[in-house]
Structure 1
């Protein structure tokens, strides 16, 4: 049996559902195939529940320092199940909204596991059971799954981030393996919730993609909050026991209640029969695509975490939208098809405490002649208000420009700086020069003034800086 659509999408996560919504908006008939709930990893097992847990950790940290604001508060403990229920309620509300939106656009949702079938002259397709859903274009958007490094993950003592989000009781002691975004966020969150954390990273710094100076600040801040940070270290073995887990770090055995394996995620391509359909897959599992995200198989595209590059939900959105516009254009429908955003122009955020956010090139990537300005948040009124009386402010805003030219990098560390990075993305994406921003008035007191201050310094007219 065969059904026919303009677009058939395998995977209902960020890339898949964004593509479905935009394609339907452009008048295309759309099938969205996934055997898991709409929203995928980001909504159900990643971005949203993790950030809800991080918000709960922030509330606890705020209550703990309430006295510095002149407020009396008593910190009595953490109800982990209550935090999980709060995160689940947030996810459920967003899922209801997304499901309603998908239904309102007339998208056919097929809640089954699918695999790719090659073009037989009627277009490529997605097979679910005995039915093949043919389409003029098929979009692969099956996302990624945790890497375990061969460690004996059992979901109880040795876990991934997905099991960590389902905990009803917090561990007293935990080892977190991996100093990337996932590992750092969980280490920061658990420390703020009262867990004794050891964070293990194989390289010489946390968050290797970020500015080295910002990584050093983060390491100092985590250490100050009680996290034991072990850089240049590896976990060589782990054994789950009845009362916890024994983790071998180098030559030393460390006992903990849990080991969280958070060393990254790999593309999900197993069982999709990609090679048989003419789709090239790298040794690392990434799907090879051209500048428009089209694979070697005619009419087959790939998006999001399947494509090598930063694993970001909003990158998935951008991919999905681009493919929808591209397919609509090829089908003769009016669209706003534009070039795919460069990965370096897509902002990234790590929601630990302090937060890190960045877009564009690092100082090293920009080259030795790049002009670099650091504005320290000790001079920002809003940052001082957020810290409370006696609080220590270590945040920094870094702007990078080509010699006499445009801004090519914006790098931030500090409380709540994630809310600033969209302005940074505009500056980098629009290739703005500091002089272009100099006349834009930023409200006072706000964290955004820090970008204005750094920009004034780059333009040769610093105000609240000694230069």
Structure 2
């Protein structure tokens, strides 16, 4: 059945998103998957006057909108409100946190998602160049996608089928005691205690939310540190902050087994240590959705479930591209957006610049936040040589707005000697909002002196980024060089 969106700003603006097309309908671009990468490709291709078929078996917007970025950040904001209420007296405001109403939290979260979903439906539905197909698609020819018995031929094909929440062998995810992030987003209660298996982005974000909601949380991570993909100093700063918040974590401790108990679960980790809790959240990353979709049968090369592409996102099968979480690399919505735009422009003959993976900003939205772009100190030393790398850490304690917010942390710059800044790493409340300028600094290969001459508004945390570059340029104002 077609579904439609009514624009609340108009009494008669309603668009049909799903339409019936005859067999063998031909399009300039057929896109399999309507998540971040897929719908971005569709919208940009439509702008470039290409005829597009966008095929999605679930809801337009995919994981990010419905089971990832948006709902998790809504939970994190609710958690911030809880912490602010609990700690309000230090700001001279007397308030009492009575408790967490999960029905209310979920209503708020779902409302945010619903509004964005309707807006996205409107964008896609209002385009005369996009045919939205609601159905399960499969690649049945090098330029043909079949969806619910109908075939859609594309002069170009874009594979954008997204990812799913991974598990581990021996884990029986039941959605009640042993859950994934999908289940955690719809919990109707605040568990008394939780074990989080995985100390990456998903794991630390949920641990942060639950701690703010009053849950006794323990993170188990097989790698030597939390958020191990980030710069080591950022990881260590997060670990210190989590200890202060009384979020327990055990790193370098691989998972061995889990048993269900009358009260919940009992998890055994390396060394025979056991931990008990009401629920176990499996947060060991996300896997690519590529199985049984006909990719390999049509000659698309797959490695451990991921679609292999060149730097221009071509799969090796003529006119077949892949974007988003199915392509090896960072699984981030904004990476998918950019890849979708890139592929649309590539198909249209615009010859877009190749995306620099290191230049994609990364933000972990726990408390405190972590934000970074470019190379870690370790990667920079590996690439340029240890003797060529210089770093500088600016303590947010010297920043006026950070003092107002009562946050601690730092901004770390990684620079090639007598050259540009090749990495920016930040820890602290709301530092994710600073990543825009940091991204420009890295991608434009800016030198510290060039950034130092820019005027940063006072008092803002953004000012701290300017201060760090002043210090690295040898003319610190509120910091030591």
TM-score, normalised to structure 2's length?
0.92
Given that 2:222 and 2:251 are in contact with CA atoms closer than 8 Å, whether structure 1 keeps it comes out as: yes
Which residue number in structure 1 is paired with residue 357 of structure 2?
Answer: 343
Given that 1:359 and 1:410 are in contact with CA atoms closer than 8 Å, whether structure 2 keeps it comes out as: yes
Given that 1:7 and 1:137 are in contact with CA atoms closer than 8 Å, whether structure 2 keeps it comes out as: yes
Structure 2 counterparts to residues 166-245 of structure 1, below 5 A: 166-245=186-265
* Distance in 2, Cα, partners of 1:241 & 1:235: 17
Q: How many residues align?
A: 451
Given that 1:245 and 1:255 are in contact with CA atoms closer than 8 Å, whether structure 2 keeps it comes out as: yes
* Distance in 1, Cα, partners of 2:274 & 2:401: 44
Task: Confirm or deny that 1:35 pairs with 2:40.
Answer: no
Which residue number in structure 2 is paired with residue 274 of structure 1?
Answer: 295
Which residue number in structure 2 is paired with residue 457 of structure 1?
Answer: 471
Which residue number in structure 1 is paired with residue 8 of structure 2?
Answer: none
* Distance in 2, Cα, partners of 1:339 & 1:373: 31
Given that 2:371 and 2:431 are in contact with CA atoms closer than 8 Å, whether structure 1 keeps it comes out as: yes
Task: Give the CA deviation at 1:130.
Answer: 2.2
Given that 1:319 and 1:340 are in contact with CA atoms closer than 8 Å, whether structure 2 keeps it comes out as: no
1:137 to 153, 156, 163: 156
Task: Give the CA deviation at 1:376.
Answer: 0.2
Secondary structure at the residue paired with 2:34? coil
* Distance in 1, Cα, partners of 2:338 & 2:97: 42
Which residue number in structure 2 is paired with residue 376 of structure 1?
Answer: 395
* Unaligned ranges ≥5, structure 2: 1-22
* Distance in 2, Cα, partners of 1:211 & 1:291: 25
User: For 1:402-443, what per-residue CA distance to the aligned partner results, in whole angstroms no more than 9, with x for missing partners?
Assistant: 111111111000000000011000000011111211221001
Runs of 4+ aligned residues of structure 1 deviating over 3 Å after TM superposition are none
Task: Confirm or deny that 1:114 pairs with 2:129.
Answer: no
Which residue number in structure 2 is paired with residue 147 of structure 1?
Answer: 166
1:405 to 419, 443, 464: 419
Secondary structure at the residue paired with 1:197? strand
Task: Confirm or deny that 1:165 pairs with 2:196.
Answer: no
* Distance in 2, Cα, partners of 1:241 & 1:3: 55
User: For 1:288-333, what per-residue CA distance to the aligned partner results, in whole angstroms no more than 9, with x for missing partners?
Assistant: 111210112111100011110010000000100000001111xxxx
Task: Confirm or deny that 1:126 pairs with 2:148.
Answer: no
* Distance in 1, Cα, partners of 2:450 & 2:263: 61
Given that 1:39 and 1:95 are in contact with CA atoms closer than 8 Å, whether structure 2 keeps it comes out as: yes
Greater CA drift, 252-261 or 168-177: 252-261
User: For 1:219-252, what per-residue CA distance to the aligned partner results, in whole angstroms no more than 9, with x for missing partners?
Assistant: 1111211211101112211123443112112312
Secondary structure at the residue paired with 1:338? coil
Given that 1:362 and 1:409 are in contact with CA atoms closer than 8 Å, whether structure 2 keeps it comes out as: yes
* Distance in 2, Cα, partners of 1:117 & 1:320: 22
* Distance in 2, Cα, partners of 1:82 & 1:241: 30
Task: Give the CA deviation at 1:80.
Answer: 1.2
Given that 1:217 and 1:394 are in contact with CA atoms closer than 8 Å, whether structure 2 keeps it comes out as: no
Task: Give the CA deviation at 1:465.
Answer: 1.2
Q: CA RMSD in A?
A: 1.0
* Distance in 2, Cα, partners of 1:340 & 1:194: 45
Task: Confirm or deny that 1:429 pairs with 2:443.
Answer: yes
User: For 1:120-161, what per-residue CA distance to the aligned partner results, in whole angstroms no more than 9, with x for missing partners?
Assistant: xxxx01111322100110100011111101211111100000
Which residue number in structure 2 is paired with residue 56 of structure 1?
Answer: 78
Structure 2 counterparts to residues 327-342 of structure 1, below 5 A: 327-329=347-349, 335=350, 337-342=351-356
Task: Give the CA deviation at 1:105.
Answer: 1.3
Secondary structure at the residue paired with 1:23? helix
* Distance in 1, Cα, partners of 2:259 & 2:320: 43
Which residue number in structure 2 is paired with residue 257 of structure 1?
Answer: 278
Secondary structure at the residue paired with 1:117? strand
